[in-house]
Amino acid sequence: MALRTPPLHAVHETRGASFTDFGGWEMPVEFDSINEEHEAVRTAAGIFDVSHMGEITVTGPDATELMNRLTTNDVAALEPGEAQYAAITDEEGIIIDDTVVYRLPDSLPEGTPGAGADYLFIPNAGHDAQMHERWTAHREQWDLDADVTNQTDEYGIVAVQGPDAEDLVAAAAGEAARDLGRFSAEAMTIAEVPAWVARTGYTGEDGYEIVVPMDEMEPVWAAFDCQPCGLGARDTLRLEYGLLLSGQDFNPEENPRTPLEAGIGFAVDLDTDFVGRDALAAQQESGVEQVFTGFVLEERGVPRHGYSITDEDGAEIGAVTSGTMSPTLREPIGLGYVDEGRAEDGETVFISIRDEGKRAVVRTPPFIGENQ
Amino acid sequence: MSFDIPENLYYTESHEWVDPETGKIGITDYAQDELGDIVFVEFPGVGDHLETDDELGVVESIKAVSDIYAPVSGEVTAVNEALEGEPELLNDDPYGEGWLVELDLDSTDEVESLLTPEEYESQL
């Protein structure tokens, strides 16, 4: 299957980006150096093209009910202009995807992404068709009155992240950008392009995610004078904060996990009636066998996805799902699932790297910031 | 993009270089560029004897793990311990301070079967 290319592909190419296949999209992985890009976001600001993420809008009298029954969080609690993190689970409570749901105001100017719809949600790269199908199938099954539209090919997303992001977005979109609270969003105009500007992101830093019409991305991208960043830096940045990466830290086929196992129980509201709710309530009651946590390697090496986590006798007690040499800490860090009794902070575990157990200590992420 | 390919070295298709004068081995400018930020290097033991194509070590960047193979056979006489503290030397100076290991070559003839700078350049 041919890779989908973001409209900024040629712009990125001119800027010297290298590319990778991410969820069926050919996306920039690196512009200059992952370390440089990572540092720019931690100390100043960086801009990311995340157009591979999906966009689905839901509209109609039963839109809230449809959203609430297909996501784990309480969508009804959202005011217009608010965003919410949630998981999408199957009947067994297994995470199929994670997403951010935006409750859209009625008053969005024409041309603004999401205008006319009640909700916009962002599935992970390559999941848009599957989520669209899931939403429409359940709408039919439950006989709900809601329109579901996959707008992934119509909208693109630019993320501006880092301590200088507020100044940059205020300069490009207007001073109102400064007043946006975390997980709030508003319609704004950037380089004369109508944009849905949200104070969200996936780097652990303050920042904005800006949804714009796909064919008008170029002037929006050009409106920000900061370090262009690829998906390589996005990965190291999110990893330092212990944020889940779909497909890697959970995967319904290869590594089926519930939100309670994956450490995102905060995004599960068992008072709402969603697909998977009963399974999660039962798991809440019985407890989980393994939990998602972090660790810091105390010996030389780099933990990677798929490596075993063992006890001192070499018995397997978990597996690494993500790992890297932290560009900020310059220490090898990782995320993974560990048997419940061995996941306490300070616990010594071993990471099996090329058949050798390397000593590590369990540490609840984030690795930087408040827990540092 | 053009890469530095010194005239006095021999090369492998898997992007290692060997200096027949000193027995030093490393990875090429192209290889370090492809790997990106190098964060970890694992060496063989000094005194180990390696046959051609034996695993000589591992170089890891933030995004990839890459096995390094011995271009020729010989005994390991030194490893570049500086890379343990500063693996980025491999990015900054792959033919100089970023060398990996030094071999006492079994035979200098073996080097002749490797790629010349011109041959290596043509395969990039």
The one-digit pLDDT tens for each residue of chain A (372 residues) are 678 999 999 999 999 999 999 999 999 999 999 999 999 999 999 999 999 999 999 999 999 999 999 999 999 999 999 999 999 999 999 999 999 999 999 989 999 999 999 999 999 999 999 999 999 999 999 999 999 999 999 999 999 999 999 999 999 999 999 999 999 999 999 999 999 999 999 999 999 999 999 999 999 999 999 999 999 999 999 999 999 999 999 999 999 999 999 999 999 999 999 999 999 999 999 999 999 999 999 999 999 999 999 999 999 999 999 999 999 999 999 999 999 999 999 999 999 999 999 999 999 999 998 544
Question: CA of A126: how far to CAs of A50, A70, A158, in Å?
Answer: 12, 18, 17
Q: Read off the pLDDT band of B2 (50, 70, 90).
A: confident
* Closest approach of B99 to chain A, Cα-based (Å): 19
- Domain limits of chain B? 10-109
| CA–CA dist B24, B96 (Å, integer) | 10
B2 interaction partners in chain A (CB closer than 8 Å) = none
Q: What is the CA radius of gyration of chain A?
A: 20
- Partner residue facing A33 (CB), from B37, B40, B65: B37
The topology under which CATH files domain A289-371 is Elongation Factor Tu (Ef-tu); domain 3 (2.40.30)
Are A187 and A194 in contact, with CB atoms under 8 Å apart?
yes
Give the chain B residue nearest A20 (alpha carbons): B63
Q: What was the pLDDT predicted at A361?
A: 98
- Other Cβ atoms less than 10 A from the Cβ of A266: the count is 9
Q: What was the pLDDT predicted at A372?
A: 41
B40 interaction partners in chain A (CB closer than 8 Å) = 300-302, 325, 332
Q: The tokens 């800006």 sit on which residue?
A: A210
A354 interaction partners in chain B (CB closer than 8 Å) = 42, 58
Quote the tokens at residue B25.
Answer: 């081995």
| CA–CA dist B114, A306 (Å, integer) | 35
The topology under which CATH files domain A9-53+153-240 is Gyrase A; domain 2 (3.30.1360)
CATH class of B10-109: mainly beta
What's at A266, amino acid-wise? F
The topology under which CATH files domain A56-150 is Alpha-Beta Plaits (3.30.70)
B110 three-class SS: helix
- Report the percent of chain B where pLDDT is more than 70: 99
Cis peptide before A366 (omega within 30 of 0): yes
The strand ranges marked E within chain A are: 18-22, 25-30, 46-49, 56-59, 83-89, 95-103, 119-122, 147-150, 155-161, 185-190, 193-198, 207-213, 227-229, 290-297, 308-310, 316-325, 332-339, 348-353, 356-362
Which residues partner with A84 through β-bridges? A101
B42 interaction partners in chain A (CB closer than 8 Å) = 300-301, 354
Are A316 and A323 in contact, with CB atoms under 8 Å apart?
no
A30 interaction partners in chain B (CB closer than 8 Å) = 36, 63
Question: CA of A224: how far to CAs of A15, A52, A68, A176, in Å?
Answer: 14, 20, 36, 17
- Domain limits of chain A? 9-53+153-240, 56-150, 289-371
Count interface pairs A-B at CB distance under 8 A: 35
Which residues partner with A27 through β-bridges? A20
* Closest approach of B88 to chain A, Cα-based (Å): 11
Give which of B62, B81, B88 to mutate to test A binding, by max A Cβ within 10 Å: B62
| CA–CA dist A325, A330 (Å, integer) | 6
Give which of B35, B39, B41 to mutate to test A binding, by max A Cβ within 10 Å: B39
Q: What was the pLDDT predicted at A371?
A: 43
Mean pLDDT of B43-55: 96
Q: Which residues in B have their CB inside 8 Å of a CB on A? A: 36-37, 39-40, 42, 58, 60, 62-63, 65, 84
Which one-letter DSSP state was computed for residue B113? Answer: G
> Known binder of ligand: residue A133?
no
Q: What was the pLDDT predicted at A1?
A: 62
- What does the CA dihedral A163, A167, A168, A171 come to, rounded to 10 degrees? 170
A139-161 in b/e form (b: 16+ CB < 10 A) is beeeebebbbbbbbeebbbbbbb
